[in-house]
Amino acid sequence: MKGKIGKMDRIDFQMELEPPIKFLEFNSDAWEIFHEVEVKKAVRIEKGRIKHLVEEREEGVAIRAIVNGRVGFSFTTDANALIDACERAVKITKISEERLNDFPEGGFSRVNGIYGKIEGDWLKEAGEIVISAVEEGVNPAEGVVEVSEIKKKILNSSGAELESNETFVSAFIECVFEEGAAYDLASARDSSIDLEGMAKNASTFAKHSAKGSKIEPGKYDVVLSPLATHQLLFHALYPAFSVENVVKGRSPLANKLDQKIFGEVSLIDDGRKDGLLMSSPFDDEGNATQRTEIVEKGILKDFLKDWKWANEFSADPTGNGIRQERNSYPATLPTNVLIEVEEGKDYGKALYIHSFTGAHTSNPISGDFSLEISPAIYDGMPIKTGMLYGNIYELLKKIEVGGREKVQVENTYTPWLKFLGIEIKG
């Protein structure tokens, strides 16, 4: 389903920042205000029916204050409590272990395709498309299609004054067939979101999981979907690229710059690539986003750096100071991780894995993982369950080819990927 979604209600800031700015200028050595407002509209699906429409608006201000090199943090959604929030941030500096001397002057990258005109009237049609795309006999048990518009502003005592507008469209569906179940999700910046493909994937794998059996233990060529790839890499690998973890001794890659760590695969963190989900003209601290070659043809080339840990590492920030929530402190996190590998015409006989259970239990320090496959297909036969054990660094040494089409799942932009000779247990 392509084209414009329409026009969403215009959002504007309602909180007045002049009073807190004056307070912070008088009571701190340096300060930062992160101001964000989001209007969200969603349609929910339950048991194959459009259940209801939801609309909500949230505006919040996160404040960081520096006094004598110590950082205090506070957050509020109350327009009448901005000065109280500033006072809390200043008070926290007296006991804080967090250290900073100042905030970045700010930077701005030109990024296209991150804002589309969105209208809530599109949602009902989108929900009906999801339901109708599910295979006959499969129950679209639970799902949601959501559109949101976000306006973000960053001001600080170093002179940064940045503002951006972004839109997001996301969808999720869980399908049930007999004793089997599977889910899939999709995201985009506009109505180019692949609702039909998402629903068909979920319903197909729900059928497979109902009929499938355990797999025989052994070594298999394995093909991972973009969803499975993201689940694995986000928990087992991405933390190792954070320079904070390098400095703190929590990354196995600390002394491996310019060394071969993987097979012939490249990983690029690109926060300014047009149209991708994590693209933005600046990160959540005000540093310009950029393209960072992390791994080039298997060789480790760089780490990801936010403002604080770039200074600790005596390097420039890479635009990776990200707040997972608007009320959270910025941390070193990936933006869009582009996975590039030789393109294969045919994956051949392999174990095709749609998703994992338990990816969050992966060890980000060692890279070890033990994941349940749910569900998968091998040689045309459905596999209901199995276990993939291993280490992410060893796995990525066995990468062979990738598909032509790339799909983004949260931070990861990747094709289906094929790995050779992977240990699978029943």
Strand 356-357 relative to strand 368-373: parallel, antiparallel, unpaired? antiparallel
* 365 shares a domain with 272: yes
* 282 shares a domain with 196: no
- The enclosing domain of 121 has a CATH number of 3.30.2290.10
Q: What mean pLDDT, rounded, does the chain reach?
A: 93
Q: What is the mean pLDDT of residues 90-98?
A: 97
List the single range of 51-55, 68-72, 163-167, 358-362 with lowest mean pLDDT: 51-55
pLDDT band at 220 (very low <50, low <70, confident <90, very high): very high
Predicted structure pTM score = 0.94
pLDDT the model gives residue 214: 81
Question: Does residue 2 carry a pLDDT above 50?
Answer: no
Is 8 inside a domain boundary? no
pLDDT band at 65 (very low <50, low <70, confident <90, very high): very high
Q: What is the dihedral of CA 119, 173, 227, 114, to 10 degrees?
A: 0
DSSP state of 253: T
The last residue of a domain, from among 187, 206, 225: 206
For residue 157, give the amino acid letter: S
The last residue of a domain, from among 206, 227, 247: 206
CA distances in angstroms from 342 to 32, 139, 298, 417, 422, listed in the order given: 44, 38, 12, 10, 19
Is 1 inside a domain boundary? no
Question: Does residue 64 carry a pLDDT above 60?
Answer: yes
Any idea which residue has 């969808």 for tokens?
171
pLDDT the model gives residue 10: 58
Q: How many domains, in total, are found in the chain?
A: 2
Any idea which residue has 């770039």 for tokens?
310
* 93 shares a domain with 64: yes
* C-beta of residue 279 within 8 angstroms of C-beta of residue 268: no
Is 367 inside a domain boundary? yes
Higher per-residue pLDDT: 233 or 213 = 233
Q: What is the mean pLDDT of residues 292-313?
A: 96
**Helix and strand numbers, DSSP H then E, in the chain:** 8, 23
Is 396 inside a domain boundary? yes
What range does the domain containing 224 cover? 212-425
* C-beta of residue 269 within 8 angstroms of C-beta of residue 411: no
Summarised one tens digit per residue, pLDDT across range 22-57 is 999 999 999 999 999 999 999 999 999 998 888 999
Is 316 inside a domain boundary? yes
List the single range of 113-122, 247-256, 280-289, 356-365 with lowest mean pLDDT: 113-122
Summarised one tens digit per residue, pLDDT across range 151-176 is 999 999 999 999 999 999 999 999 99
* 249 shares a domain with 224: yes
pLDDT band at 4 (very low <50, low <70, confident <90, very high): very low
Name the nearest CA neighbour of 319 among 345, 288, 297, 341: 288
* 44 shares a domain with 163: yes
* 196 shares a domain with 232: no
pLDDT the model gives residue 120: 58
* 283 shares a domain with 156: no
* 247 shares a domain with 276: yes
State both tokens at 381. Answer: 């036969």
CA distances in angstroms from 87 to 68, 90, 91, 156, 272, listed in the order given: 16, 5, 6, 17, 35
* C-beta of residue 252 within 8 angstroms of C-beta of residue 260: no
Phi, psi values for residue 287, rounded to 5° = -80, 140
DSSP assignment of 48-101: TEEEEEEEEEEEEEEEEEEETTEEEEEEE--GGGHHHHHHHHHHHTTT---B-S
